[in-house]
Structure 1
Amino acid sequence: MKKLIITLFLGLAVVAVAAPRKRHLFIFAGENNMESVRPERTVIPALKKDKEVRKGELLWVREARREMSMHDVDEGWKDSEGKTKKKFGPDYKVKQTKNYKRLLKNARQAAKKRPCDTIVLFWMQGESDAKNGWGDEYAASFKRFVTNLEKDLALGKINVVITRISDFGTENKKYPDWQNVRDAQKQLVKDNKGWILIDTDDKNGKLNKLQFDKKGIARIGELYAEIAIEFVTGKQVAK
């Protein structure tokens, strides 16, 4: 009888097992203006204020390089004439896809090579492609870049947020494909369900400068945080 009671007790005992923490990886990548973004000062602190988000593990990496074109992150890049390599000035010495390999390596390290419940790519780039007349190649190149990154990371689905290049070069002859790149970025978001576009025409000051001003960068950080919360929790954040 005593043995039976012990057996029943063990059978009814419930062992509490803590559910694993969800993991969220945020990738901040781009060129000139992305260099001014400091996720650790703006985005991450804002995320930690959300009760549901801070229950998980927040991971992030930033890859920002001045004058980084799609040429540097897309292994399949080709210009309109089918050429795979093309340099845009005597000071351009970055090897093709070197930035991609560094981004991939750093993202893997940030995620500790373990699957993530949420992955968001915040992209802020396009000025170099606009300057060098590569607008026609932009959309296909970017889509290929995201596809390859998702496959090579192998950590989960990548959600994409494109921070559109501003209205700086729409009438600047030094940037012949400025509007083409803007149009390509808008079309990419239209064609890919779930992708988000952030407009920046009000982020570069009254003089429409190439670089976003402090207020603009601060607002972009806020928007990044709001969008990240939406991806993690599925709830709409008041903007």
Structure 2
Amino acid sequence: MKIAFLILANLILISESVFSFQIDGKHLFILSGQSNMEGLNPEESFIPILKDSLGGDKIIVVKNAMGGQPIRRWYKDRETIDGNSLIEKPDLYDSLMNLVNTVIQNENILSVTFIWMQGERDARESYGSVYEASLIGLYNQLSKDLGRSDVNFLIGRLNDFDLRNEKYPDWTVIRDIQVKVAESNPHFDWVDTDDLNDGVNREGQKIENDLHMSAQGYVILGKRFAEKSIQLIKKPESN
């Protein structure tokens, strides 16, 4: 009986220790990509929803995006994939990670969620054949640099701007790849954006089936990113 009591007491202490460890940590959200990520204002809907669910003092949000950029400005091994000598260097990834490493100093990070909204440039340049390897490679690169094997990956799929591939030859190819990658791992997911590019943009202009989101579309996008991120964080580990 005494041995059983001691075992139970130790289990309680361990549980309390783990619980305390989780309470003291923070959840990191890394947002990056090109113009449709650049247009997203996390303060409008993304951060408020995270605060309501996880607590305002439990989240760290880092956003670094630039319009019109190909994935090779993030993924460092891109040249080895297609064999071309590319002008662009992965400087955007380096800038992103400099920000991340600065804000997570001395922080206990409970979870990392990488949110990616990009692909338009690669679709326009017909790089669909190497986009899947680049996308997975970028995720692995980030995971390795952060020293984690549990990074969540949330992808915003290209909208329905050019489903006939008339202006951007690999538009639907990139869309399909994004979904394929997002459904390949329990730590991954994707967000639909097909209904977010109609209405009025931030400049007050009416848009329809546009390359970019409407003003309200960006608000909804932030909401969807936040809700899917929370689902990934709270998703139980599979045995």
Task: Give TM-score, length-normalised by structure 2.
Answer: 0.80
Distance 1:33 1:59, change over 3 A: same
How far off is 1:82 after superposition?
1.6
The answer to whether 1:214 aligns with 2:207 is no
Which string of whole-angstrom CA distances, capped at 9 and with x for unpartnered residues, describes residues 103-136 of structure 1? 1111111222645211101110000000111011
Q: Equivalent pairs: percent with the same residue?
A: 29
Alignment of 1:12-91 (within 5 A): 19-20=20-21, 21-50=24-53, 53-54=54-55, 57-78=58-79, 81-85=82-86
- Counterpart-to-counterpart distance in 1, 2:71 and 2:40: 20
Whether the aligned pair in 1 keeps the contact of 2:155 and 2:189 (CA below 8 Å) is yes
Amino acid at match of 1:161: L
- Counterpart-to-counterpart distance in 1, 2:229 and 2:175: 23
Amino acid at match of 1:47: L
Task: Give TM-score, length-normalised by structure 1.
Answer: 0.80
Distance 1:61 1:156, change over 3 A: farther
Structure showing greater radius of gyration is: 1
Match of 1:60, SS? strand
Where structure 1 has 5 or more consecutive residues not aligned to the other structure, the ranges are 1-13, 87-94
Q: How big is the alpha-carbon RMSD for the aligned residues of Structure 1 and Structure 2?
A: 2.5
Amino acid at match of 1:170: L
Q: Pick from 145, 148, 151: which aligns with 2:141?
A: 148
- Counterpart-to-counterpart distance in 2, 1:150 and 1:79: 20
Match of 1:128, SS? helix
How far off is 1:172 after superposition?
4.6
Whether the aligned pair in 2 keeps the contact of 1:118 and 1:231 (CA below 8 Å) is no
- Counterpart-to-counterpart distance in 2, 1:129 and 1:47: 31
How far off is 1:155 after superposition?
5.3
Match of 1:49, SS? helix
Alignment of 1:1-239 (within 5 A): 19-20=20-21, 21-50=24-53, 53-54=54-55, 57-78=58-79, 81-85=82-86, 95-112=88-105, 114-154=107-147, 157-205=150-198, 207-234=208-235
Whether the aligned pair in 2 keeps the contact of 1:116 and 1:156 (CA below 8 Å) is no
Whether the aligned pair in 1 keeps the contact of 2:112 and 2:152 (CA below 8 Å) is yes
Distance 1:85 1:113, change over 3 A: farther
- Counterpart-to-counterpart distance in 2, 1:232 and 1:101: 26
Larger fraction in helix = 2
Distance 1:159 1:84, change over 3 A: farther
Match of 2:47, SS? helix
Whether the aligned pair in 1 keeps the contact of 2:25 and 2:107 (CA below 8 Å) is no
Whether the aligned pair in 1 keeps the contact of 2:71 and 2:134 (CA below 8 Å) is yes
How far off is 1:77 after superposition?
0.4
- Counterpart-to-counterpart distance in 2, 1:217 and 1:82: 36
Aligned length: 211
- Counterpart-to-counterpart distance in 2, 1:204 and 1:79: 35
Distance 1:165 1:79, change over 3 A: farther
How far off is 1:79 after superposition?
8.0
Distance 1:129 1:113, change over 3 A: farther
Where structure 2 has 5 or more consecutive residues not aligned to the other structure, the ranges are 1-12, 200-207
Match of 1:59, SS? strand
Distance 1:182 1:39, change over 3 A: same
Match of 1:112, SS? coil
Distance 1:106 1:156, change over 3 A: farther
How far off is 1:183 after superposition?
1.1
